[in-house]
Amino acid sequence: MPELPEVEVVRRGLEKWVVGASFGEVEVLHPRAVRRHAPGAADFAARVSGCGVTEARRRGKYLWLTLDSGEALLAHLGMSGQLLVQPRHAAAERHLRVRLPLTARQGHDPEAPQELRFVDQRTFGHLLVDRLVDDGTGTGLPSVISHIARDPLDPAFDEDAFAAALCRKRTELKRALLDQSLISGIGNIYADEALWMSQLHWATPTEALSRSQVATLLAAVREVMVAALAQGGTSFDSLYVNVNGESGYFARSLNAYGRNDQPCARCGTPIQRETFMNRSSYSCPRCQPRPRHARA
């Protein structure tokens, strides 16, 4: 599942190539791609066609294009969704779900028309049109994601409020990090990496954390995400790419995730894999010992 760095890489590509353009006649090729748009595919196409794009924004793992109609085109990439900017004459991808033709924007060649394409092999991702609500800072936010918390790279992220809410959770630390209503954008990969960097075990009870441990953890989360952004995100297969179809390379820099039985980069102890919420969690048993007071 793409996490904050991967979605931010896509957002930056949309900002570069799509903001300032307008959509032509939108074509929905697979209704499942707009299944969360309750009025249906025809309404989705009608509400996007002809609209200009004024902004490309993101909260956590969700991104959206602000339209000059006053609404937002919201995208969630799911497991395999891709937003690609392609020449309009380029051959259709095998799993192309929605075509959104683009008018030429300033600085682009009008003789080489482009289109935004939503490609999704597993069809777990989706697009929808939604109204914007005030997020508390005077900025528009799609109403359907108003419950999603700010992410740690958001300038308006409140570290003190997060620390207090985290300690009230009374749950395992990693479970709290994956709670998008508490802090958004963190998934399994970057949770493991941040926990390794801050030398905290995933099962640490949140109520046992000190304020300094929370500060260290947040610093680690930010450092890991900024490093991943610099390398274009993490790609383990061809399903995550940016808007130009290029994969990220942060997988080569991972210290914990997916490194079962490989030596810890800090102490040399083999990284261990444990089952967590029907998925895997990776940690160093020496640098990140399981706390004695961890929940069973």
Q: Which residues are annotated as a binding site?
A: 95, 122, 169
Q: How many CA atoms lie within 13 A of 235 on its CB side?
A: 15
Identified catalytic residue from 3, 6, 8, 115: 3
Structure token digits, residue 196 = 């390794």
Identified catalytic residue from 57, 58, 59, 61: 61
Mode of pairing for the β-strands spanning 71-76 and 62-67: antiparallel
Go through 43-74 and write b for each residue having 16 or more CB atoms within 10 A of its CB, e for each that does not: ebbebbeebbbeebbbbbbbbbbbbeeebbbb
Note if 2 is an active site residue. Answer: yes
Note if 117 is an active site residue. Answer: no
Are 232 and 248 in contact by the 8 Å Cβ rule? The answer is yes
Cα 293 to the chain's mean position, in Å? 32
Structure token digits, residue 64 = 């959206």
Any residues with CB less than 8 A from the CB of 113 and at least 6 apart, and which? 87, 88, 89, 101, 102, 103, 104
Cα 70 to the chain's mean position, in Å? 24
Query: Of 238, 280, 235, which Cα lies nearest the Cα of 256?
Result: 280
**Count helices and strands in the chain by DSSP H and E runs:** 6, 11
Identified catalytic residue from 94, 111, 252, 279: 279
Helix (H, G, I), strand (E, B) or coil at 3: coil
Identified catalytic residue from 2, 5, 101, 142: 2
Q: Residue 107 phi/psi, 5° resolution?
A: 95, -5
Note if 3 is an active site residue. Answer: yes
Structure token digits, residue 139 = 């900025």
Structure token digits, residue 72 = 């937002």
Residues annotated as binding site for DNA?
95, 122, 169
Note if 174 is an active site residue. Answer: no
Query: Which positions are annotated as active-site residues?
Result: 2-3, 61, 279
